[in-house]
Chain A
Amino acid sequence: MLTWLTAEIQPAPLGISRTFVGAAAVLRALIALPVVVKLSDPSIVRLPYADWLPHPTKVLVLTLIASWIIFGLAFTLGWRVSITGPLLVGSIGMTLALDQQTYSNHLYLMAWLVLLMTLADAGASRAIGGSNRRVVRWPVLLILGQVSIVYGFSALTKLNQGFLSGSVLASALRGGLVPFPDFLRTPEFLWIIAAGAVLTELFVAIFLWSPSLRRMAFVMGAGFHLLTILFMAPTLELLVFSIEMLALYPLFRGATLEFGDLPSLDHKTSLVGGTTSKSTD
């Protein structure tokens, strides 16, 4: 098992995922800009996590966002990811730490993804100056674990009366690109959508790991994200979240637990090479 975890896999899917996550990070910086600039206004309430944290002056927040964009672009292009990745995580982390009002789940997710991608050596492929070197499997598995954890907990936390009754969706299905039809805004239909959302998230969380059901999970996940972008708000933030998650789906194909690839304890040494070559599609 340890041999399988530390085996090398093809770097290309990770490089592609890094490109999309980096681009989403740059787009997210532009979304964060008006919020953090507003924080520097004295008439705006401050909700700091701790009193010793720096006051968000205009110079500080503009410097922070500029750094975020620069490091995000470098990360997207794969330029010195081992350096620009942690710097990007630092920029996002500082923004999150500035004030409770800057928090969002997909921004928190972005910090984790950039950190994990840096750990996974995501600059090994599709990168400026990259040598297309192979990457180790276990950090990529952490990224995949992150995907399942996000979908899984998102589904579990929706198992409450407010969500399943449709009342959360009744207020959430507003302000999207496409107006949600009023004739569908019935308790029965909203209940069906609520239950469908929970089941879809659970299905995707589990079956992206399954070679036989992965394609269906991919389609369901993509459809789920498309519907949220179309019918819910804030559209741009949901777009960023969708890019973050969908960009990671292809990683499941090359790095997941194909049980036939697991080296047996008896033939560990002889199967190591086979493990690497089989799972690097």
Chain B
Amino acid sequence: MSDWRKSPVVAVAAMSLFLVLQLAIPISRLEDETQAQRFAWQMFSRFHPEVEFTVNTEADSYFVDLDQVMARQRADLSLGNSIPAHLCDLDANAVSIVWESESYQC
């Protein structure tokens, strides 16, 4: 038995730190009801409509199968910040990317 675990000071400090971390983070993330949040134990708690990305080229347009460009789809990811630029990189003919009511010029 290590002596440090029997120290009341260590016990109080560790328990306080644990509770602060484990309560403060999830509580701070309760407010946003639009999207599931990480590190907050929000399992299957929010409705997450699938986002469809369309790549427009000079000649035509096509829907993107997100499983082909993502390692894993998750409700807590904000795809609009990174997927459009990545799709432009993947297709040299892409002119713009459209999703929901937004668009991104390549």
From B15, B30, B69, give the contact of A44 (CB < 8 A): B69
- Bound-state Cα–Cα, A121 to B5, Å: 9
- Bound-state Cα–Cα, A104 to B69, Å: 19
Please report whether the interface of chain B is mostly helix, strand, loop or mixed according to DSSP: loop
Binds B, one of A32-40, A64-72, A254-262: A32-40
- Bound-state Cα–Cα, A39 to B71, Å: 6
B44 to A168, Cβ gap below 8 A?
yes
Closest to B40 in A: A153
- Sort chain A's interface into a size bin: 35 or more
From B6, B18, B46, give the contact of A142 (CB < 8 A): B18
Chain A neighbourhood of B1, CB < 8 A: 8, 121, 133-136
Chain A neighbourhood of B18, CB < 8 A: 142, 145
Interface string of A114-133 (1 = CB under 8 A from B): 00000101000000000001
Chain A neighbourhood of B47, CB < 8 A: 162-163, 167-168, 171
From A104, A138, A157, give the contact of B45 (CB < 8 A): A157
- Bound-state Cα–Cα, A99 to B82, Å: 13
Q: Which residues of A140-196 are within 8 A (CB) of B?
A: 141-142, 145-146, 149-150, 153-154, 156-158, 160, 162-163, 167-169, 171-172
Q: Evaluate whether A103 and B41 lie within 8 angstroms (CB atoms) in the complex, with A136-B1, A141-B15, A163-B47 already known.
A: no
B72 to A35, Cβ gap below 8 A?
yes
Chain B neighbourhood of A102, CB < 8 A: 71-72
Q: Which residues of A6-63 are within 8 A (CB) of B?
A: 6, 8, 35-36, 38-39, 43-47
- Bound-state Cα–Cα, A134 to B6, Å: 12
- Bound-state Cα–Cα, A104 to B19, Å: 21
Closest to A105 in B: B43
B19 to A145, Cβ gap below 8 A?
yes
Q: Does A265 contact B (CB under 8 A)?
A: no
B11 to A138, Cβ gap below 8 A?
yes
B43 to A142, Cβ gap below 8 A?
no
- Bound-state Cα–Cα, A109 to B39, Å: 9
Q: Does A86 contact B (CB under 8 A)?
A: no
B41 to A154, Cβ gap below 8 A?
yes
Chain B neighbourhood of A85, CB < 8 A: none
Chain B neighbourhood of A167, CB < 8 A: 47
From A36, A43, A138, A154, give the contact of B15 (CB < 8 A): A138
Chain B neighbourhood of A232, CB < 8 A: 44
- Bound-state Cα–Cα, A42 to B38, Å: 25
5 chain-A/chain-B pairs, Cβ below 8 angstroms:
A36-B71, A45-B70, A101-B70, A153-B40, A160-B46
Q: 19 more A-B contacts (CB under 8 A) besides A149-B23, A153-B41?
A: A2-B11, A5-B11, A6-B6, A6-B11, A44-B71, A45-B69, A99-B71, A102-B71, A119-B14, A121-B2, A136-B1, A138-B5, A138-B15, A142-B18, A145-B19, A149-B26, A153-B26, A157-B43, A167-B47
